[in-house]
Amino acid sequence: MTKSELIERLTDDNDVLSKRESELIVNSIFDSIGQALVDGDRVEIRGFGSFTVREREAREARNPKSGDIVQISAKKAPFFKTGKELRERVNVP
């Protein structure tokens, strides 16, 4: 599902919301999650999952084309861990 499909579904499921209002809601949620991660906070949505930031250490890697060793600097990366309820819903036999 893409962001535009999510907005469309939100509009279809709620007669009182216009497409523009649905877009503002979705953008607001995503912006809030992103800002919380930038601030170093953890975002948990019960039954869905949690978003955190993980730090990756600096390391050496090899360029597969040339074989040269390349230095990769340390960085932070967003990480999503699914909640138990979502995992169970996806794994229904």
Region for 82 from its dihedrals, namely left if φ exceeds 0, alpha if ψ lies in -120 to 50, beta otherwise? beta
Which CATH number is 79's domain given?
4.10.520.10
Give the helix ranges, DSSP H, for 2-83.
Answer: 3-13, 19-38
Three-state SS at 85: helix
Q: Mean pLDDT of all residues in the chain?
A: 95
Q: Which two tokens stand for residue 86?
A: 């979502």
pLDDT at residue 24, as a whole number? 97
pLDDT at residue 22, as a whole number? 95
The model carries a pTM of 0.78
pLDDT band at 92 (very low <50, low <70, confident <90, very high): confident
- The widest CA-to-CA distance across the chain, in whole angstroms, is 59
- 78 is in which domain, residue-wise? 3-90
**Residues 25-69: tens digit of each pLDDT:** 999 999 999 999 999 999 999 999 999 999 999 999 999 999 999
Q: For the chain, what is the domain count?
A: 1
